[in-house]
């Protein structure tokens, strides 16, 4: 996966409202982040699949970061 795509994802995580990140279930959170990435930079199906897998593997971290921002 392209390193700039990973940076773009984490920048979105940091700028997305924390309440949005913690209130969505796993599937909807992944879809929301993928939708936001795709609006900034359209992805092909392989990139979408790789990014989806990556986000699922990082959901706990994404939520931890969001909870920290809420505190």
Name the band, by pLDDT with cuts 50, 70 and 90, for residue 40: very high
Quote the pTM value. 0.92
Name the band, by pLDDT with cuts 50, 70 and 90, for residue 54: very high
The arithmetic mean of pLDDT across residues 22-34, rounded, is: 97
| CA 55/CA 27 separation, integer angstroms | 10
The arithmetic mean of pLDDT across residues 9-21, rounded, is: 96
Q: Residue with structure tokens 């795509």?
A: 5
- What is the number of helices (H) and of strands (E) in the chain? 5, 0
**SS3 of 10-24:** HHHHHHCCHHHHHHC
The arithmetic mean of pLDDT across residues 5-28, rounded, is: 96
Q: Give the helix/strand (H/E) hosting 1.
A: none
């Amino acid at each position: 996966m392209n390193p700039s795509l990973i940076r773009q994802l984490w920048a979105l995580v940091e700028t997305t409202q924390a309440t949005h990140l913690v209130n969505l279930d796993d599937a909807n959170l992944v879809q929301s982040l993928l939708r936001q990435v795709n609006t900034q930079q359209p992805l092909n199906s392989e990139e979408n699949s790789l990014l989806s897998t990556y986000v699922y593997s990082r959901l706990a971290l994404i939520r931890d970061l969001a909870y920290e921002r809420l505190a």
